[in-house]
């Protein structure tokens, strides 16, 4: 039996105990956004640190301006020449459980349920996001330590407690601890599979620009019967400007917006086409029939690897019950941009503001506010660690691992690149029906089990140098 086979066998034999260890963590109500749960967040951090010490890590609970960060090291890895040292990232905090009455069982009393299709699932807040996911990595490390007495690589683990409320203090923590955190590669387990039988590696994360726009015309709301037809209407101005952001093919018309956006390699594009994501399967369940994105792009490109411009809200004038015939004095909108490739958030923000200013009448004014600038993250498709991870996942799941872009953002991954100079390998085992952030959150038992085995295979593959 090979060394890896022995580790995989240990994982299988230890599965019941692995589930119970996860249950112990899930019982801690570590809701980060509510100050009433601050002590529970600290309890979760101390629990994670103690668990890591139990398998040979040196672990500390490090204070921040908010909830603490667990920082642990196991530097006795036996990597062959060229094998990387790795930083694993996850988070122990969870979302609030509201509305509580929609839970079928108490959210912090984990249980195993069997679905009508025969799948066994773990049900609890945090089961998938992210306690169950990061424990797949911890359990893989536990199996290596049990079988070999050491890990195949030098491993540092960083588990934060504020991901669900914006990771406000984590960028500063990373900068302050850059000496300890600057390694060869970051590993992240907070993403998803393509489907229940097809593993996936997230190769890109979209960046974000979020803007607030206010257009002001008259010095007060006006009577539309008196001033209508003569006075500028900020709502009409704003609607007209924002309506020009896209052409009839779904492309963004802001000058320079696509600077830094590259086409996918042919083989990656072929892989995505083979997944056959259609408007019927993706949009049908939400009552839509046709994609509104760039008409010359596949739907899966539109939602993962292409940039977007969206109007998130617009308000002005009278919106109460009944009628009030006014021309508003001001109108407001919130607009967000998802970025890809090497798009520069500041340049996109500045281009958007120039686009708006050029279209505002001379006797009106516009003001802007910004709620966030985050750059996109893009891995090289031929990155050695990515190639090895794809092979390892295919060996575990028996099918080709797809490389997909994520439509959302994980800002700390950009910090890993910009501050620490590290690429990140994002491998997750969540499914679309895991009800993340919703009542009755779950994590498939199969995903938990094979997730542990997957990380064992990935660590072994990376250690080969």
The pLDDT assigned to 77 comes to 62
* Averaged pLDDT, 439-461: 98
The Cα–Cα gap between 404 and 191 comes to 11
CB atoms within 10 A of CB 226: 11
Give percent of the chain above pLDDT 70: 98
* Residues 214 and 87 placed together within one structural domain of the fold: no
In a domain, 410, yes or no: yes
**Residue 265, by phi and psi: left (phi above 0), alpha (psi -120 to 50) or beta?**
beta
Q: What is the CATH number of the domain that holds 62?
A: 3.40.630.10
* Residues 92 and 159 placed together within one structural domain of the fold: yes
* Residues 101 and 151 placed together within one structural domain of the fold: yes
pTM of the predicted protein model: 0.86
3-state secondary structure of 211: strand
* Averaged pLDDT, 366-394: 93
Nearest to 245 by CA among 309, 175, 166, 186: 309
* Residues 7 and 155 placed together within one structural domain of the fold: yes
Number of domains in the chain: 2
The pLDDT assigned to 372 comes to 83
* Residues 178 and 51 placed together within one structural domain of the fold: yes
In a domain, 287, yes or no: no
**pLDDT band at 374; cut points 50, 70, 90:** confident
Helix 445-462, helix 384-397: angle, nearest 10 = 140
In a domain, 456, yes or no: yes
**pLDDT band at 1; cut points 50, 70, 90:** low
Q: Are 136 and 451 in contact (CB under 8 A)?
A: yes
CA distances from 408 to 150, 170, 336, 338, 340 (A): 36, 19, 12, 8, 11
3-state secondary structure of 327: strand
The pLDDT assigned to 82 comes to 63
Residue 409's domain comprises 3-205+376-462
pLDDT, tens digit, 9 for 90 and up, residues 155-175: 999 999 999 998 999 999 999
CA distances from 271 to 191, 231, 399, 414, 436 (A): 19, 55, 13, 25, 27
């Amino acid at each position: 039996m090979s060394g890896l086979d022995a580790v995989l066998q240990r994982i299988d034999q230890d599965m019941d105990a692995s589930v119970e260890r996860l249950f112990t963590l899930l019982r801690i109500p570590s809701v980060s956004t509510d100050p009433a749960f601050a002590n529970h967040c600290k309890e979760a951090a101390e629990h994670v640190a103690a668990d890591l010490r139990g398998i040979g890590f040196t672990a500390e609970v490090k204070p921040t301006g908010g909830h603490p960060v667990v920082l642990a090291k196991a530097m006795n890895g036996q990597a062959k020449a060229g094998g990387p040292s790795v930083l694993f990232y996850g988070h122990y905090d969870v979302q609030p459980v509201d509305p509580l009455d929609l839970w079928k069982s108490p959210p912090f009393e984990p249980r195993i349920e069997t679905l009508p299709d025969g799948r066994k699932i773990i049900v609890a807040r945090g089961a998938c996001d992210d306690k169950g996911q990061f424990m797949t990595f911890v359990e893989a490390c536990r199996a290596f330590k049990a079988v070999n007495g050491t890990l195949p690589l030098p491993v540092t683990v960083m588990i934060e407690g504020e991901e669900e409320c914006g990771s406000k203090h984590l960028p500063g923590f990373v900068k302050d601890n850059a000496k300890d955190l600057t390694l060869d590669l970051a590993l992240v387990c907070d993403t998803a599979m393509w489907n229940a039988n097809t593993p996936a590696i997230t190769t890109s994360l979209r960046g974000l620009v979020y803007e607030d726009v206010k257009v002001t015309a008259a010095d007060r709301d006006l009577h539309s019967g008196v001033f209508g037809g003569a006075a500028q209407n900020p709502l009409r101005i704003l609607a007209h400007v924002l309506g020009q952001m896209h052409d009839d093919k779904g492309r963004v018309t802001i000058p320079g917006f696509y600077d830094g956006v590259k086409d996918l390699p042919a083989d990656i594009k072929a892989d995505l086409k083979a997944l056959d994501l259609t408007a019927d399967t993706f949009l049908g369940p939400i009552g839509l029939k046709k994609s509104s994105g760039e008409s010359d792009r596949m739907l899966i490109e539109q939602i993962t690897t292409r940039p977007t411009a969206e109007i998130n809200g617009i308000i002005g004038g009278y919106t109460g019950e009944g009628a009030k015939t006014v021309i508003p004095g001001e109108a407001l909108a919130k607009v967000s941009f998802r970025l890809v490739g090497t798009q520069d958030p500041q340049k996109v923000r500045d281009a958007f503001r120039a686009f708006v200013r050029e279209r505002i009448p001379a006797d009106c004014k516009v003001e802007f506010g910004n709620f966030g600038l985050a750059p996109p993250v893009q891995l090289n498709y031929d990155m050695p660690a990515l190639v090895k991870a794809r092979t390892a996942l295919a060996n575990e799941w028996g099918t080709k691992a797809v490389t997909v872009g994520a439509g959302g953002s994980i800002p700390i991954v950009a910090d890993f690149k910009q501050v620490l100079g590290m690429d990140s390998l994002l491998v997750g085992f969540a499914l679309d029906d895991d009800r993340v952030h919703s009542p009755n959150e779950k994590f498939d038992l199969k995903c938990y089990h094979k997730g542990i085995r997957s990380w064992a295979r990935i660590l072994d593959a990376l250690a080969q140098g």
